[in-house]
Copies of this chain bind each other. A is one copy, B any other.
Amino acid sequence: MRLYTALVHHPIRNKKGDMVTTAITNMDISDISRSSRTFGVKKYFLVSPATSQHNLVRRILGHWESDAGSMYNPDRTDAMRVATLAHSLEEAVSQIEEIEGVKPQVVVTGAQFKDTELKVSELREQLRIDKHPVLLVFGTGWGLHASLVETADARLEPIYSQADDGYNHLSVRSAVAIYLDRLTQKPL
């Protein structure tokens, strides 16, 4: 399965819809690395233009590669190896193109999407027959900025809850876990 994940920290919407850059958090690194590793994702890109953030992430990932970190929790070290850095989504796409020899299909996610081009069941089938590498893109803050969404190949259907009132405000960590689980379930 040629599936990649990306967590974008720029360009992101804030509460008012303005374009902002969010900070990379420790929990986003580790939870999403562990989900990505569990479900067979090839690389998990932490996307941020901020060089200081890259240095911070390198220190955290370096800790898990160190003797102390890997002796304390070898499974965590193993998961962290799937994580890597990119300054922009374009750079992540380029890195995947180098690995796969072809550009990935860029699929964006968003809890508030009204119109979408792709159902989870369709993407699952596509991954199953391994048609093309896929980069599944998640936002932080109040979601991916429109300028990034517009450049994507497809928007994936949101995770609809079973709550009667349509409430769906999952954390990005939970959303990644659920999408990866749904995408890797055996076909019905």
Residues of A with Cβ closer than 8 Å to B?
1, 15, 27, 30-31, 34-35, 37-40, 72-73, 75-76, 78-79, 159, 161-164, 167-171, 173-178, 181-182, 184, 188
Contacting pair B173 A171 (CB below 8 A): yes
- Distance (whole angstroms) from the CB of A102 to the closest CB of chain B: 23
Contacting pair B40 A161 (CB below 8 A): yes
A-B contacts, 5 listed (Cβ < 8 Å): A15-B73, A34-B169, A40-B164, A175-B177, A177-B178
Closest to A32 in B: B174
- Distance (whole angstroms) from the CB of A181 to the closest CB of chain B: 5
CA of A152 to CA of B159, assembled, Å: 31
Contacting pair B34 A163 (CB below 8 A): no
Set of chain B residues within 8 Å of A188, measured between Cβ atoms: 188
Contacting pair A173 B173 (CB below 8 A): yes
Q: Which of A39, A72, A164 has the most CB of B within 10 A?
A: A39
